[in-house]
Amino acid sequence: MHILTQLHTLNVTLNSSPLKKMNPSPSKNTATLLITCPDSKGIVAAIAEFLYQHNANILHADQHQDAENNLFLMRVEWDLAGFSLATNDFEAHFAAIAQRFNMQWQLNLSQKPLRVAIMVSQYDHCLADLLHRHKNGELACDIPLIISNHRDTEALAKFYGVDFHYIAVTKDNKAAAEAAQFALFDEYQIDLIVLARYMQILSADFVARYPKQIINIHHSFLPAFIGAKPYHRAFERGVKLIGATAHYVTEVLDEGPIIEQDIDRISHRDQVEDLIQKGRDLERVVLSKAVRWHIENRILLYANKTVIFD
């Protein structure tokens, strides 16, 4: 076969086949400790000494004090190579320090990536961005499940080799539809739910089942223009800036703790369609940052706020 014909055949095969899962297992082997407690002297010293005693090589350490709420928040990540304490035994050994400083804490391991479900309706720009970043290794997680109330994104899910489940949602079947979604989350052992322009309001039961585990992208710079059609309302108001906001979902619509925001300038020449296009670019970047920070354990929540550690 002529070499050009061979190359053409190879190109057609690659372009017409679903992408294989290309993101390798996490190459680093680290542990990340997130801590929230009342602020007092000696916290950093106690944690550093504890890790030193168990031969930890600290890679990153960051902290924040909130004087108004008398809170101390910290993220510390260390290499598990040479760490002398088995992770299963960490809680028992760390308990004395945690009790001494009245800590709320969680330990996360890079070798146990979060399992993420994406929910989407008809707009696919955020979904496509997340799947592309995941394929390229920018998002160190597993994405085994996509749920949609429309079939528009089914082909995209198939292209990336992710299981797609269509669940129609109406005002009459909402409870049954959410029950089916809960069953899928359990089946796929989902740790994080990402609403990538999923245009349905979640029930109070849904939100209560997954506290601090649902990230939404809202197509405005919150707290402005909550709810539906924010770009149309921004256009009618004649604003000069539009934005996008990624936040955790709570029972109060679009008022959960904000993770990331960005803006773009517009002018009198921009029509609604221009606002929507510029907004979609913002939505993609803002949502991907929020998801990445969550799966990298860089976020601590308190008082309906977030601390994002570098």
Residues known to be catalytic? 254
CA 205 vs. chain centroid, Å, equals: 21
Contact 164, 234 (CB under 8 A): no
Per residue in 114-141, is it b (16+ CB within 10 Å) or e — as a string? bbbbbbbbebbbbbbbbbebbbeeebbb
Residues linked to residue 142 through DSSP beta bridges, in sequence order = 115
* Rg (alpha carbons) of the chain, rounded to whole number: 22
Tell me the residue length of the chain. 310
Give the integer Cα–Cα distance in Å for 289 and 268: 30
Give the integer Cα–Cα distance in Å for 295 and 299: 9
Contact 107, 32 (CB under 8 A): yes
Structure tokens at 112: 């146990």
Q: Between the CA of residue 17 and those of 13, 31, 155, 269, what are the distances in Å?
A: 6, 37, 12, 42
Closest by CA to 201, choosing from 242, 254, 275, 270, is 254
Place of tokens 């809202």: 218
Residues linked to residue 308 through DSSP beta bridges, in sequence order = 299
